[in-house]
Homo-oligomer: A and B are copies of this chain.
């Protein structure tokens, strides 16, 4: 958790621009107390004739799906806050290239999730703090 899948037009982004985006995304979760290595971002280049919005081919569209596993927010104000944070990370990445953008989050069950054969430790546990500190999965 989280897993970001980023679909964007082929050839639009440099490695440095992707790196900057990834750092902003990773920081969101790091500042929320999660291990940095929980954050995985996959970029997918979209070629001609493979992306359609509103029935028309779209070469100016960044579509991002996010899977949240480790933390699910309940309170509406918390959900609005995380939504805003995600958009703040995405907006410069998309709008800076004159792209339209859209994202959504899916919340998947934390108990059907493993890393390197380990069940990730409970939120805010001592084991999770160790995973944060060591930035890797450690048997506990």
Contact = CB atoms under 8 A, between A and B. Distances in A.
A79 B111 contact: yes
Interface residues of A, number: 64
A57 to B, nearest CB: 8
A13 B104 CA distance: 29
Given A102-B115, A116-B102, A51 B44 contact: no
Number of copies of this chain that the complex holds = 3
Interface string A76-115: 1001101100110001000100001111111111011111
Given A65-B67, A117-B87, A46 B42 contact: yes
A23 interface: yes
B113 A103 contact: yes
Nearest to A102: B115
A40 B63 CA distance: 9
Given A23-B55, A42-B46, A44-B50, 7 more contacts: A1-B104, A19-B52, A36-B55, A66-B112, A83-B111, A91-B117, A102-B114
